[in-house]
Amino acid sequence: MKYVIIGNSAAAIGAVEGIRQADKQGEILIITNEPYHTYSRPLISYYFSKEKIKTSVKAGDLKLPHTENNSANTAFGGSPMKYRPADFYKDNNCELIHSTAVQIEPKKKKVMLADYSLVPYDRLLVATGSSPFTPPQFENLEKKHNFITLDDAIKLEKSITENSRVLIIGAGLIGLKCAEGILKRVASVTVADIAPRILPAVLEDESAKILQSHLEEKGIVFKLSTEVNNFDEYDIVVVAAGVRPNVELLRGIAEIGKGILINEKSETTAPDIYAAGDCTESLDVSSGEIKIMALLPNAYIQGEAAGVNMAGRDEPKVFDKAIPMNAVGFFGLHVITAGNYNGEVYTANTNKDYKKLFYSDNKLNGYILIGNIEKAGIYTSLIREKTPLDTIDFKLICEKPGLMAFTKEERLIKLEGVS
């Protein structure tokens, strides 16, 4: 069996590990248009930290740069950006092709690369991720930067100086992580967004104000409910106005909505072609909606399901408990959110520890935690499993989440895996 994977991020890595659960010998070929070992894109802001990676990577090299603290390290060394060990591809018997897939020929079961060479496959995974969206007014702006890939971070670092006045367009996760990463390396950072609050797709008003105040204390300036059209007072503009799924390879081949449509096995509507990650749409079990959930944990689990099912394991693996979920930290303040914000509300707000739970119809719909996030996993489990709230001590769960709020039988299941 020959498996071909287009992409080299979380979904692709999940697929490799899923394939190897069921097939130890099949050939795995990964097509990637980046010259690097797999890394965590949400963590590229760490490139600007004290442990930042030196820019010693040459195109096509699989050896990655060492950190300043340990020149013997490779594959991002001890950086949080490192997604798998340096020997990951060797250990899983994978071959990498550093090229761009430009076309899929489903009848011939081949992928065409940028040099017009053809790569045959028996099973194909499209894990092409997403690309930054650039509003028209920024298309021709010379001082424009994106902040999605490691190359974007490298380019931005080469451009900034201690005197740089930086404007970031977009107060979402990408924009705020960029602001955090570069703040100590430049003269000023201003974040602008047409939305009235920061992280508009992640937080509601009250929690957004708490985080905004924390970021302002660190020195970040915000211009919200504002569309900036004059860039003269800024030396660098980082456009972080969102992303769009990379679906073009399967257009006309498989069904596509806003993203590539897949089922719970990560199968597309095209035979022997699977998809996973930010390029796909899947079911949000917290709301019952089909949507794009461009989140690393979901991407990995989708990819793992794809890999297992591509390999034809007797017992298929399904990805049927996806929910919107974000876990992020800014200057030491941690934020975790999950699910949707519909229903009745329980709120606890003490200093910088903030908790808001949303519930209705005897189930937990979503939550927001800022500061103390220690028990977030319990709330996440309640949402994913759609646990009836009348079967647990919900008041205790709200105030002091822990296993004692569950029945003895449920505690055994969670602690020992008893079914």
Strands, DSSP E only, in 278-320? 280-284, 289-291
The mean pLDDT of the chain is: 89
Per CATH, 2-38+83-130+244-310 and 332-416 having the same topology is answered no
Q: List Cβ neighbours of 45 (8 Å cut-off, separation of 6 or more).
A: 153, 177, 178, 180, 181, 182
Return the pLDDT at 59.
31
- Over pLDDT 70: what percentage of the chain? 89
CA distance 310 to 63: 29
Taking the C-alpha atoms of residue 396 and residue 376, their distance in angstroms, rounded to an integer, is 14
The 3 state secondary structure assigned to 242-286 is: CEEECCHHHECCECECCCEECCCCCECCCCCEEECCCCEEEEECC
The strand pairing partners of 239, in sequence order, are: 169
Domain parsing of the chain, residue ranges: 2-38+83-130+244-310, 136-239, 332-416
Would you place residue 79 in the very low, low, confident or very high pLDDT band (cuts 50, 70, 90)? Answer: low
The vertex-285 CA angle with 280 and 288, nearest 5°, equals: 85
pLDDT, tens digit, 9 for 90 and up, residues 392-414 = 889 988 988 876 666 666 666 65
Mean predicted confidence (pLDDT) in 287-292: 91
The answer, yes or no, to whether residue 3 has pLDDT greater than 70, is yes
Q: For the packed helices 205-218 and 173-182, what is the interaxial angle rounded to 10 degrees?
A: 20
Q: 78 CB contacts (<8 Å, ≥6 apart)?
A: 51, 67, 69, 70
Please write the tens of the pLDDT for every residue from 193-207: 999 999 999 999 999
Residues in a beta bridge with 245:
130
Instruction: Please give the share of the chain, as a percent, with pLDDT higher than 90.
Output: 76
Structure-block tokens of residue 188: 């000023």
Mean pLDDT in residue range 376-403 = 89
Q: What band does 63 get if pLDDT is binned at 50, 70 and 90?
A: very low
According to CATH, the superfamily of the domain at 136-239 is FAD/NAD(P)-binding domain (3.50.50.60)
Q: Which whole number is the average pLDDT over 332-357?
A: 94
Longest dimension (CA), the chain: 64
Tell me which H or E stretch contains 20.
Answer: helix 10-22
Is residue 309 predicted with pLDDT exceeding 90? yes
Sign of the torsion formed by the C-alpha atoms of 307, 311, 315 and 316: positive
Token output for 297 = 């944990």
Q: What would the CATH number be for the domain defined by 2-38+83-130+244-310?
A: 3.50.50.60
Question: CA 286 to CA 323: how far, in whole Å?
Answer: 6
Per-residue confidence at 242, pLDDT binned at 50, 70, 90? very high
Per the CATH hierarchy, to which homologous superfamily does domain 332-416 belong?
Answer: FAD/NAD-linked reductase, C-terminal dimerisation domain (3.30.390.30)
